[in-house]
């Protein structure tokens, strides 16, 4: 009996010691509370982050913009450093005032460090800018951001373009481009587009490899190198002759570039220093102006003993260009105003001033006339900086 009672008591003690439910409940509650707290915090953080990031992007919108040519948003006339800063400021201000008077809008002058900076501004502010740049810079700007051409400058020779020539001796046996294969070449400026780079591209395109390139100091030296048989051919600047009676300008591709050969008459020197064929233009003759005329005094037979093989294509002069998004109507007005201004007294104190551009006038430009520059750039594979470093 005592033994059974003792076994019963021991069983109760063991049963009581094996009850861990409270521990399990505590653990379960802790896990649930922690999970709920973490989910609530994560949702709040994501929501806050999304709102903060999206809202500023929605309000960065230009609701209103001042009209172009107003006091707060003037038209910008952009110039590279073609002269002293004070000169550009003074002459540019005269131009800006003339344009303001003609259009009723405000124009301001901007002077930049170089032509690439002008191109960058034309591209970055295409609605507000007008650039005064070289033809090569225009070609780059049109390629980079669709800048539009407006006007092209007319120089004192009365032409809106420049051209070069290939000259050789009459007795050289050289009559066409193919004959230049392996021949020595006198070059005055290897950065000149019209007097070197265009001809280099022309020969490359035709598969013609000239011989030695002889560097000389100036067009006159290049002409003398050919005359003295120090080089087989040379390139130099060609300025068309003044035509008889000055009734019209010499026309590229239509008129003979050498009146002496056309008429079979020798060149002569006038009492006041001009080189003439058949007398003064006012009496029916021609006034010669190409590079050979500069050495006529020391070599009066230069025209008789040399000949022109070919001319370069016409290379446009300095150009006025508009940003791609410049208002078309205003651009057309400005082009017309500038063309008329360049023919009047207002130009003498602005674009035509001798210490500024010294232009003789302006004409409306056409983008197709810049094809020769694109031909040079593509054929010679010139980098943008090489194009800008080229001279006209």
> What domains can you pick out in the chain, each with its CATH number?
75-158+317-389 (3.40.190.10), 161-238+298-314 (3.40.190.10), 240-289 (no CATH)
Task: Determine which helix (DSSP H) or strand (DSSP E) holds 164, and give its type and residue range.
Answer: strand 161-169
Contact call for residues 288 and 300 (beta carbons, < 8 A): no
How many other CB atoms are found less than 10 A from the CB of residue 283? 10
Contact call for residues 289 and 260 (beta carbons, < 8 A): no
The predicted pLDDT at position 170 comes to: 97
Contact call for residues 305 and 130 (beta carbons, < 8 A): no
Kindly provide the b/e burial profile for residues 368-391, where b requires at least 16 CB atoms within 10 angstroms of the residue's own CB. ebbebbeebbebbebebeebbebe
The predicted pLDDT at position 57 comes to: 55
- Mean pLDDT, the chain cut into blocks of 10 residues (392 residues total): 41 39 36 36 40 50 78 98 97 97 97 98 98 98 98 97 98 97 98 98 98 98 98 98 96 95 92 94 96 96 97 98 98 97 91 96 98 98 95 84
Sheet containing strand 148-154, strands side by side = 107-111, 75-79, 129-133, 319-322, 148-154, 361-364
CA-CA distance, 146 to 123, in Å (whole number)? 8
The predicted pLDDT at position 384 comes to: 95
Spatial CB neighbours of 142, under 8 Å, sequence gap ≥ 6: 148, 149, 321, 367, 370
Hey, what are 295's tokens?
């050495």
Spatial CB neighbours of 383, under 8 Å, sequence gap ≥ 6: none
């Amino acid at each position: 009996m005592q033994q059974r009672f003792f076994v019963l008591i021991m069983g109760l003690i063991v049963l009581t010691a094996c009850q861990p439910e409270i521990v399990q409940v505590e653990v379960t509650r802790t896990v649930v509370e922690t999970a709920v707290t973490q989910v609530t915090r994560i949702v709040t953080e994501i929501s806050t982050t999304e709102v903060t990031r999206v809202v500023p992007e929605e309000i960065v919108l230009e609701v209103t913009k001042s009209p172009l040519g107003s006091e707060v948003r003037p038209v910008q006339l952009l110039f590279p450093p073609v002269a002293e800063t004070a000169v550009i400021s003074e002459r540019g201000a005269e131009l800006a005032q003339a344009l303001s008077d003609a259009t009723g809008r405000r124009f301001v002058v901007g002077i930049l460090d170089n032509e690439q900076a002008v191109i960058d501004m034309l591209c970055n502010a295409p609605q507000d800018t007008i650039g005064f740049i070289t033809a090569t810079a225009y070609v780059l700007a049109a390629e980079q951001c669709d800048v539009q051409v407006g006007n092209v400058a007319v120089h004192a020779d009365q032409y809106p373009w420049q051209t070069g020539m290939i000259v050789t001796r009459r007795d050289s046996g050289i009559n066409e481009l193919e004959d230049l294969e392996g021949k020595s070449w006198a070059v005055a400026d290897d950065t000149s587009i019209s007097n070197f780079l265009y001809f280099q591209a022309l020969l490359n395109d035709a598969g013609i490899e000239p011989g030695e390139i002889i560097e000389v100091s100036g067009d006159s030296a290049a002409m003398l190198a050919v005359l003295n048989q120090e080089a087989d051919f040379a390139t130099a600047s060609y300025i068309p002759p003044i035509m008889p009676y000055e009734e019209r300008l010499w026309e590229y591709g239509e008129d003979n570039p050498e009146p002496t050969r056309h008429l079979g008459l020798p060149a002569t020197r006038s009492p006041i220093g001009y080189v003439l064929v058949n007398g003064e233009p006012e009496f029916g003759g021609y006034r010669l102006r190409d590079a050979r005329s500069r050495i006529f005094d020391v070599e009066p037979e230069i025209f008789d003993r040399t000949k022109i093989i070919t001319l370069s294509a016409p290379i446009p002069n300095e150009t006025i260009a508009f940003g791609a998004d410049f208002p078309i109507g205003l651009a057309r007005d400005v082009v017309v105003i500038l063309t008329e201004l360049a023919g009047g007294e207002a130009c003498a104190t602005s674009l035509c001033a001798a210490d500024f551009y010294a232009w003789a006038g302006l004409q409306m430009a056409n983008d197709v006339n810049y094809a020769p520059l694109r031909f040079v750039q593509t054929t010679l594979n010139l980098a943008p900086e090489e194009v800008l470093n080229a001279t006209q």
